[in-house]
Structure 1
Amino acid sequence: LAEPLARLGANVTGIDMSKVAIDAASAHANAANLPITYRLISAEDLAGEGAQFDLVIASEVIEHVADRVAFLTAMANLGRPDLPAIAIITTISRNIIATVLAKYAAEYLLRLAPPGAHDAAKFITPKTLRGAAKAAGIDIDDITGIRPSLLSGFALGGPPVMNYAAAGLIQPE
């Protein structure tokens, strides 16, 4: 997501806790001559530094964190304090279809992710995400499914059966 946003003119900071991921993303952005700042830092630590953004995206992250509310609170703390910021979260739904497809098919059959990359117990229903986000100061306004598309790989729309995107506002303090 960082590169398409940078191509659109956004000032982008990408973070990850994996040095390998940061190094790969930095090399790719540099090769494309994109001015993206990549940092090896947690959302919590970045918020602790006082960083502020108009848009905060956590794409396919929350299903890997130990404490959802703490992570979502860090996201909320990254929003600007003077006006509402937008929060976007993409994740895997918690149901049998998502578990079979996103965990077992993706990891063991298709090898799209390393075996063991996902813990199905950390998958999160839209209702649970909405409640955790609310507790953290993010008002989720819209949830929509992410589905496979032959033309573009993935498309937004439909029910949140497997992957979904949630969008909401981080209200200023």
Structure 2
Amino acid sequence: MPRSPNRTSVDGASVLDVGCGGGLLSRALAKRGAHVTGIDASSSAIAAAAAASSNDDVELIVGEAEHLEGREFDVVCALEVIEHVADAALFVRTLGRLAKRDVFLSTLDRTWLSWAVGVVAAEKIFGILPRGTHDWTKFLPPDEVAVMLGRAGLAVKDVAALHFVWGPLGLHRAWLGPFVPGLTPNYILHATKSNR
């Protein structure tokens, strides 16, 4: 599996941000010229995203990706979502159905380090996330996600570590780096339609 992040332009592209939350990624993509649709099951998250996205090209929807019948997007993003869904394979198939070209999916690897960082430190020690946000058994190694993506007609092109720095007001900074199996709690995969 390739190990370097791919730089895919979103200028002019239609992009779906699944689990958009308060719209942080949606706004960033819109500022880079994308026509963004953000969807989230939480109406309060969509309200927060709407309040912050008033000047951007962002369509916001309360709901789940499975309910976007008949729509397709050049790029589909699902960052830090798959570890919260009931059926990961169904979720990935939905992403594949919605994507014309690219899928970007990030989650936590199922390792002792991801448990220490994502559950113990983030939830129990520092309180960055509410207790019970993560179920370690739902974390997915990249190889398992790659199999699901393959079954959904997508081929993994790149995988990279996703690093976060948290500050007193929340997420301070995020960046990509080399993925190291067993030592990278969060990662991001880039997959494309197999026929491309």
TM-score under structure 2 length normalisation: 0.79
> Does the CA contact (< 8 Å) of 1:16 and 1:39 recur in 2?
yes
Partner residue in 2 for 1:17: 41
Q: Map 1:5-154; keep pairs closer than 5 Å.
A: 5-30=29-54, 33-46=55-68, 49-80=69-100, 85-148=101-164, 153-154=173-174
Alignment partner of 1:163 is 2:186: yes
**Aligned equivalents of 2:164 and 2:44: distance in 1?**
27
Higher helix proportion: 1
Amino acid at match of 1:118: H
Deviation at 1:20, TM superposition (A): 1.1
Deviation at 1:3, TM superposition (A): 0.5
Amino acid at match of 1:43: A
Unaligned runs of 5+ in 2: 1-24, 167-171
> Does the CA contact (< 8 Å) of 2:114 and 2:186 recur in 1?
yes
Q: Deviations over 1:128-165 (max 9, x none)?
A: 11111111222111111112469x72210122511000
Q: In the superposition, relative to structure 1, how do residues 116 and 90 fare at CA in structure 2: closer, same or farther (>3 Å)?
A: same
**Aligned equivalents of 2:96 and 2:137: distance in 1?**
24
> Does the CA contact (< 8 Å) of 1:79 and 1:172 recur in 2?
no
Higher strand proportion: 2
Q: Deviations over 1:50-72 (max 9, x none)?
A: 11110000010000111111101
Cα RMSD after superposing both structures: 1.7
